[in-house]
Amino acid sequence: MKLDGRTPGGPLAEKWDRHRFELKLVNPANKRKFDIIVVGTGLAGSSASATLAELGYNVKTFCIQDSPRRAHSIAAQGGINAAKNYPNDGDSIWRLFYDTVKGGDFRAREANVYRLAQISNQIIDHCAAQGIPFARDYGGLLANRSFGGAQVSRTFYARGQTGQQLLLGAYSALIRQVAAGKVQMFPRREMLDLVLVDEKARGIVARNMVTGEIERHQADAVVLCTGGYGNVFFLSTNAMGSNVSAAYRAYRHGALFANPCFTQIHPTCIPVHGTYQSKLTLMSESLRNDGRVWVPKNPDDKRPPHQIPESDRDYYLERKYPSFGNLVPRDVASRNAKEQCDAGKGVGETALAVYLDFADAIQRDGKATIEKKYGNLFQMYEKISGEDPYQTPMMIYPAVHYTMGGLWVDYNLMSTIDGLFVLGEANFSDHGANRLGASALMQGLADGYFILPYTIGGYLAGTPLEDVSGEHPAFHDRAEAAAARLKKLLAVNGSRTVDDFHRALGMIMWDYCGMSRNNEGLETARGKIQQLRQEFWEDVLVPGNGADFNQSLERAGRVADYLEFSELMIIDALARQESCGGHFNEAFQTEENEALRDDENFCHVAAWEYRGRDTAPGFHKEPLAFENVELSQRSYK
């Protein structure tokens, strides 16, 4: 298989315009003849569903939650990037493009990233017109703040609730289309499998999570907007329902999985505080605009923070990276926090934390200003930790947060299965080996509002599709297989809970495939995962039955997929014998312990093909050409 990214020709800045002109169109009257399935109602799925329906397509939208607006996107806190240059501080489309390519350690497709930067400005106009209550400056223009990996302020925000406000906008647009009869909404449905007819995606099999019924849904194209798979680590900042299953099912049917080992570990999360914790909480990167990160200089210094004088503190990010200071990208900040803790300078009871201190900012700007910017985040921190961050520094530690890997897509956002499009965090997307803060919301909305509505038309207009109903044998087969799998999970009737297996898997992944990796550890992890997978199928306990609301059964299916998918992550990490962004292999580092890329051998997207459960996956590579940005060693000094 030769991977064709279908990147259009011509100058970088003109590619998207030119491509849109060259794409075939579906005429307005014909759009109502096409059915499109959208799985997921986060920012990517809601924006796609609403826009496709507005264009005239018949849309069927699915989500796990009881309401589309409870999708994980609602948790996004800090903001969304755009190259508006409102602060007049030197931003431009080119700079956003450059920062994103560099931030991702040169492992993303140039043309996609440039298009993302171009569209970023349209997103802000669109969302402002929807009424999203973005923060404003004294003159009434939308306000901006800074995020990591950038020296300009380009992040638009609505306090610490940007995702919630953006999702309410997309949700409103979606619900308008539900009322207009153009979107049929299927909440509390879990997609269990993808259905292919003549090698094209033609529908899904879903479980009604309340009644247990297995349903068949047919369409002319399927759009997956099912989010990221950070929960493979068990503990992450993701919503509990985030999972890999829909993407993994598509992978099993021929959609290649790209860069699965690229995981983002976010530097500022509330540290783990107990063995039975099931969720981690993010403290938004926006806090690093004003918060200063430090540890005691002396590992033996156990004084409370306010008793440690300036001279005995190490503001290590400001010291090591004077240009970017506390706003270095996430991978760099996370590794540095780990390094400090490994050197014995960690603080708090577990010594796996560093301080994020607002004392200087409060003294400089006043408590009211800080409260206005971050009030809800401070409140959240206090509720969880019992400490008041206005009085004492926050304690933070890195945690799994986002997955840059995902299903491989071409410039049209189509996977290697015809008619299967993948949007938002579920695709391998535009962030390379490390996503810059506030770029996920931008990408999800770019995909849903502005890219897919063009590219899916090109596919539908240019592809002959025969009528297919849910009675087609392919639907029958997939529905039977999905039901049989649920039955098998229930039949094991062992002694260990699903969560017990999930926690064990998470620990393996965190220890061996987390912030830093080495070949020996990765090999060890592979063996441990295989062993755990076997134990799962011999000893998992799933109470209840399949004909009812059964959360253990739902989770069991997802963990079973994680137990296979995690091995793919390990295989990918082992194959990439370099360090880049979030993938840090200890054997490849500079003298200053920064990630050391090998552009000669690894300047590519690694895309994996499923070849059977007990067969090694096939490896495909999409070479990355950098024609507009010079490949260089990343430096934030």
Q: What 3-state class would DSSP assign to 534?
A: helix
Task: Output 5 or 160, the one with its CB closest to ligand FAD.
Answer: 160
Among 49, 51, 58, 73, binds ligand FAD (CB under 6 A): 73
- Residues numbered 75 to 94 that lie near ligand FAD (CB under 6 A) are 75-80
Distance CA 374, CA 436 (A): 20
Q: How many whole angstroms from its chain centre is CA 334?
A: 17
Binding-site string for ligand FAD from residue 435 to residue 474, where x marks contact by CB under 6 A and - marks none:
---xxxx--x------------------------------
Amino acid sitting at position 402: Y
Task: Please tell me whether residue 49 binds ligand FAD under the rule CB under 6 A.
Answer: no
Q: Which of 382, 404, 407 is nearest to 395 (CA)?
A: 382
Among 39, 174, 223, 380, binds ligand FAD (CB under 6 A): 39
* Residue whose CB is nearest to ligand FAD in the complex, by number: 42
Q: Binding-site residue total for ligand FAD (CB under 6 A)?
A: 46
> What is the DSSP code string of 308-342?
S-GGGEE-HHHHH-TTTGGGS-HHHHHHHHHHHHH
Task: Output 225 or 337, the one with its CB closest to ligand FAD.
Answer: 225
Binding-site string for ligand FAD from residue 275 to residue 314, where x marks contact by CB under 6 A and - marks none:
-------x--------------------------------
Run of H or E including 223: strand 221-224
- Residues numbered 469 to 508 that lie near ligand FAD (CB under 6 A) are none
Binding-site string for ligand FAD from residue 408 to residue 437, where x marks contact by CB under 6 A and - marks none:
----------------xxx-----------
- Residues numbered 344 to 403 that lie near ligand FAD (CB under 6 A) are 401-402
Known catalytic residue at 330? yes
Task: Output 12 or 101, the one with its CB closest to ligand FAD.
Answer: 101
Distance CA 100, CA 117 (A): 9
Task: Please tell me whether residue 560 binds ligand FAD under the rule CB under 6 A.
Answer: no
Among 5, 8, 40, 254, binds ligand FAD (CB under 6 A): 40
Q: Which two tokens stand for residue 398?
A: 């890195």
Q: Which of 405, 308, 400 is nearest to 347 (CA)?
A: 308
CA distance to 576, 595, 604, per residue, from 587 (Å): 11, 10, 19
Among 127, 174, 219, 225, binds ligand FAD (CB under 6 A): 225
The one catalytic residue in 330, 517, 533, 576 is 330
Amino acid sitting at position 170: A
Among 5, 19, 31, 42, binds ligand FAD (CB under 6 A): 42
Distance CA 43, CA 40 (A): 9
Task: Output 171 or 501, the one with its CB closest to ligand FAD.
Answer: 171
Burial (CB < 10 A; 0-12, 13-18, 19+), residue 612, is exposed
First vs last C-alpha separation in the chain: 42
Region from 129-137, 171-179, 188-196, 563-571 binding ligand FAD, contact rule CB under 6 A = 188-196
Task: Output 417 or 571, the one with its CB closest to ligand FAD.
Answer: 417
Region from 70-78, 374-382, 383-391, 568-576 binding ligand FAD, contact rule CB under 6 A = 70-78
Task: Please tell me whether residue 245 binds ligand FAD under the rule CB under 6 A.
Answer: yes
Among 41, 58, 146, 268, binds ligand FAD (CB under 6 A): 41
Distance CA 274, CA 598 (A): 39
Q: What 3-state class would DSSP assign to 498?
A: helix
Distance CA 589, CA 582 (A): 13
Collect contacts of 381-388 with beta carbons under 8 A, ≥24 apart: 381/270, 381/283, 384/270, 384/281, 385/270
The CB-of-117 to ligand FAD minimum distance in angstroms stands at 14
String of b and e for 428-462 (b: at least 16 CB within 10 Å)? Answer: bbbbbbbbbbbbbbbbbbbbbbbbbbbbbbbbbee
Among 112, 146, 165, 242, binds ligand FAD (CB under 6 A): 242
Residues that bind ligand FAD (CB under 6 A): 39-45, 62-65, 71-73, 75-80, 162-163, 189-191, 225-228, 237-238, 242-243, 245-246, 282, 401-402, 424-426, 438-441, 444
Which residues form the catalytic set? 330
